[in-house]
Structure 1
Amino acid sequence: MATSSRKYKVVNTPTIYFGTFIHSPRDEASKLDVCEEGAIGVNSDGVIDFVERDVKDIDSIVDKYPSFKNAEIVQTRPEGTQFFFPGFIDTHIHAPQYPNAGVFGSSTLLDWLNKYTFPREASLSSLSVARTIYSRCVARTLSHGTTTAAYYATIHVPATNLLADICSAAGQRAFVGRVCMDHKDINPDFYCDESADESIANTCLCIDHIKKIDPNYELVSPIITPRFAPSCTAEALEKLGKLAKETGLPCQTHISENRNEVQLVKQLFPEHDSYAEVYDAFGLLTPKMILGHAIYLSKKEMELIKSRDAKISHCPVSNSALTSGGAKVRWLMNGGVTVGLGTDVSGGYSPSILEAVRATTLVSRHVALSDGDECKLSVEESLYLATRGGAKVVGLENKIGGFEVGMEWDAQLIGLELVETTGDDFAEEEVVDKVVFEGPKSAGPVDVFGWETWDDKVAKWVYNGDDRNTLGVWVKGRKVWSRT
């Protein structure tokens, strides 16, 4: 296969962004920072040079920052219907499963893997199939405002390398992992590594490929990916742990997603007291490990994860769709565990992190029905998990997730629909005759009537919005997607 040898380097036009900016404060998940008259200067490297508040005119900013004299100007509309928001970070998504999004029948996790997932992933041995699926998946996630994604690929080296190429070409920040699964008693014979040594060797081939296209991992990084403990032999887990230590690369896997899965781990690894201890025993439970789901953790496991500074990806849509359960996110956060959000396509039916934000608030309310109101997560907290929390999960909290000097411009422009008033005065008996059933003039599903505060508008976006509200997306200062 012909692969890209292009090293990622994009020189952007210096740009000043004017208007309303909304993000989560760095260490305060319970509120949003709203700047209505702001200006952010982004240099040619895609890095934020300045952040100014209470800006009355563009000329004053240009005078203050002469290096931006010839900068491009991007401005939100003045009527309060548009705002810049940090790009979403998807900390857990299976790119090869994208065609199956929404297709799971009444299956639960282990049955779903065998009926839907493994056959779909096996089909990516064909590069034409892989190109079609991966190109569409990356394009679709970008359209939903996902600027960073931690992708699980398949066992196939050429297809995994292709996913890395596609992410690089599209400009999406990505962690791309070839899945390792060598346990012949657990995995299907048509979709399984031949041995632990093959798992390691093929993983190294994918690491080497990404090094060639992005030597400093500025945009695309390899990520070591044991699918989950049952899919790997002890030999493979041990060697993957050593590889993680030698390379310093991030890792991702699953933990405690389903009760039957937890029982299976106990059967396969009886010498270890818990699921978390299995990963810890093989050197995989580190600050660079992303653990997907974490629904059925014991208190001891949670404390072990915290002590190792491993991270959690909460996947509420998938957890609900596959009847896996409701993760106790407040409990994890109160325990000091770092949490971000994942779509978990295709167990999750949507590639939208906004959908995951919405589901996070709703699932927390279901958990609260049995565990108390303190379990509820607010809109503000869920958006924090989608941005700042996700940035911590992938180890990029000083680069992305908010709008601060020195951080990179990973952002999305959100637009809402302002409902025009008729201005008519008419008697009560005339009301029926005056009603006009007419759809909104734009495709966006969020209606703003003019009385809403910014907190109200953001809440409407979270509960009613979708990709039609995403007007533009930037990664590292480069515009990578636009609705127009």
Structure 2
Amino acid sequence: MFNYLFEGTIIHCPNRLELYILENGFLHVESGKVKYIGKTKPENIPADTISYKLTKYQFLIPGFIDTHIHAPQYPNIGLGYDVELLEWLDNYTFPTEIRFNDQDHAKCIYPYVVNRTLKNGTTTASYYGTTNLKSSIILSDVTSAKGQRAFIGLVNMTENAPPELLHENNDVSIKETEEFIKIIFKKKNELVQPVITPRFALSCNEDLLKRLGDLAAKYHVNIQTHISENKKEIEATLETYPGYKNYAEVYDKANLLTKKTILAHAVYLDDNEKNTVLKRGTSISHCPNSNICLHSGFCDVRDFLNRGINVGLGTDVSGGCSPSILDAIRSSITTSNGVSFSKSEEENYKSIDYTDAFYLATLGGAQALRIDDRVGNFKVGKEFDALLIDLDSENTPIDLHLLQDYTSSELLQKFIYLGDDRNINQVFVAGRCVVKDRNVIRTYTG
């Protein structure tokens, strides 16, 4: 089951911040996992193996990983970017999320979210649901049915939001979160996992945060939340938690900063906070599109990388205006260039480039979510999450026939800077083709 042999250009990051391009190579997938990658054709291929011979404008890359996305906000994508974060939440986001108290509404919207992200090459997504238990379970069921790898979070909120969105008290929030975790585990789908999800410090209280930290430890699950996205948010957090020296300490004292924690945004972390994040092994989800759309600021990703902190990319729909990680790649490069303008020549600052951003979207995201033992690149033994890219696809936005031969590196750059979902020909998750081919000719080797 799920046996493939690819011949052509294969691109991935075998290690942190390292790009590798294998031209005229072979990649053999057996039972949904990478069996072989190399220059020579492997022997003893099973008879039911499907063979792909890629054209000069096609190449294979690992699936994109979205480390931060709000599934219920999808109807609002592209709206409300004339205001900053806290006002945007009140005027746009909370009213939209309230509608997901209706399970029929969730059943209607969530398939659109998962279909769109898959079409854009997101093989793994770390989703925020809402505070509604049944609707969040629906989200998990949709991702499962469509074959996407996902972390699903029941959002914890008892403070600072409309009453229709709040859990009645801490006990209810903890009870429903634990019930949610048990329900997801009971479904026994290894692709879909629960994640502890306090929305942010302003939506919870000290006791709730600590109890969520205990719950994460009890079930050994991931944690996702927001931090230091917006200056006004930081000010409000420190007013709400007057005994803490900084934002990160609020989470740290609740045991919410762990090796399985991912913090979204982190635009304004100070050196002490960055040291704490590094010490705890906590990761960052960089959401450049959202940081710009909601007027939050430029996050210095190069600094995180230089410190050794794990970083992945997030679309932060609908704070971000695109569900495409490819768009996040472009925005991350632009943001890093913007940061460089404020640096002096003596600092010898180096912006991230397309190779760094490609790493963030693939292996970097896997490392941030602590699933790099399973996905993120094409190392032998890993599950086959992959995208078959075709720059000469039907209605491609990329003009290639301009009397010029391009190297594989140049074709990758063309895709990163000019491509879109029309160039993502097939999407594979754990070896299963979840977005069907459009232009690729397949043959059976047997």
TMscore range, shorter length: over 0.9
CA contact 2:114–2:143 (8 Å) conserved in 1: yes
Find out whether 1:464 has 2:418 as its counterpart: yes
What residue is the counterpart of 1:410 in the other structure? 385
What residue is the counterpart of 2:367 in the other structure? 392
String of CA shifts for 1:440-466, please: whole Å, max 9, x gaps. x82111222442211111111111111
Which of 149, 174, 177 is matched with 1:173 structurally? 149
Q: Report the more deviating stretch, 88-97 or 189-198.
A: 189-198
Q: Which runs of 5+ in 1 are unaligned?
A: 1-11, 56-60, 418-440
- d(CA) in 2 for partners of 1:81, 1:209: 44
Which of 13, 16, 26 is matched with 2:15 structurally? 26
What residue is the counterpart of 1:242 in the other structure? 214
Which of 285, 300, 308 is matched with 1:336 structurally? 308
How far apart are 1:211 and its partner, in Å?
1.1
CA contact 2:14–2:378 (8 Å) conserved in 1: no
| Letter paired with 2:38 | E
What residue is the counterpart of 2:25 in the other structure? 38
What residue is the counterpart of 2:444 in the other structure? none
String of CA shifts for 1:196-242, please: whole Å, max 9, x gaps. 1111111112112111212xx52000000000011001111011011
How far apart are 1:70 and its partner, in Å?
3.2
String of CA shifts for 1:156-195, please: whole Å, max 9, x gaps. 0110000101111100000000000012xx1222221110
- d(CA) in 2 for partners of 1:233, 1:319: 25
- d(CA) in 2 for partners of 1:208, 1:309: 26
What residue is the counterpart of 2:123 in the other structure? 147
- d(CA) in 2 for partners of 1:70, 1:245: 43
String of CA shifts for 1:356-407, please: whole Å, max 9, x gaps. 0000000001111002562411000000000010000111112111111101
TM-score (norm 1): 0.88
Once the two structures are superposed, the pairs formed by residues 348-363 of structure 1 within 5 Å of their partners are 348-363=320-335
CA contact 2:156–2:167 (8 Å) conserved in 1: yes
User: What secondary structure does 2:164 align onto?
Assistant: coil
- d(CA) in 2 for partners of 1:137, 1:231: 25
| Letter paired with 1:23 | H
What residue is the counterpart of 1:52 in the other structure? 38
How far apart are 1:284 and its partner, in Å?
0.4
What residue is the counterpart of 1:365 in the other structure? 337
String of CA shifts for 1:25-77, please: whole Å, max 9, x gaps. 313x1x52111212212112x1111112144xxxxx3xx224x2331212212
Q: Report the more deviating stretch, 370-379 or 252-261.
A: 370-379
- d(CA) in 2 for partners of 1:413, 1:13: 15
User: What secondary structure does 2:395 align onto?
Assistant: coil
Find out whether 1:212 has 2:186 as its counterpart: yes
User: What secondary structure does 2:221 align onto?
Assistant: coil
- d(CA) in 2 for partners of 1:287, 1:337: 11
What residue is the counterpart of 1:446 in the other structure? 398
| Letter paired with 1:481 | V
Q: Which runs of 5+ in 2 are unaligned?
A: 439-446
What residue is the counterpart of 2:281 in the other structure? 309
Once the two structures are superposed, the pairs formed by residues 46-445 of structure 1 within 5 Å of their partners are 46-55=32-41, 61=42, 64-66=43-45, 68-77=46-55, 80-183=56-159, 186-214=160-188, 218-372=190-344, 374-417=349-392, 442-445=394-397
> Quick one: higher RCO (CA 8 Å, sep 6+), 1 or 2?
2
Cα gap change, 1:366/1:75 in structure 2, threshold over 3 Å: closer, same or farther? same
| Letter paired with 1:458 | L
String of CA shifts for 1:241-270, please: whole Å, max 9, x gaps. 110111111000000000000001110001
Look at both structures and tell me which one has the larger radius of gyration over its CA atoms: 1
- d(CA) in 2 for partners of 1:54, 1:106: 55
| Letter paired with 1:448 | L
What residue is the counterpart of 1:473 in the other structure? 427
- d(CA) in 2 for partners of 1:275, 1:287: 18
| Letter paired with 1:14 | N
CA contact 2:277–2:283 (8 Å) conserved in 1: yes
User: What secondary structure does 1:459 align onto?
Assistant: helix
| Letter paired with 2:436 | S
String of CA shifts for 1:308-341, please: whole Å, max 9, x gaps. 0000000000000001000010111111111000
- d(CA) in 1 for partners of 2:165, 2:3: 48
String of CA shifts for 1:99-128, please: whole Å, max 9, x gaps. 111111411000000000001011011112
CA contact 2:394–2:422 (8 Å) conserved in 1: no
| Letter paired with 2:8 | G
| Letter paired with 1:403 | F
How far apart are 1:482 and its partner, in Å?
2.1
4+ runs deviating over 6 angstroms: none
How far apart are 1:483 and its partner, in Å?
5.0
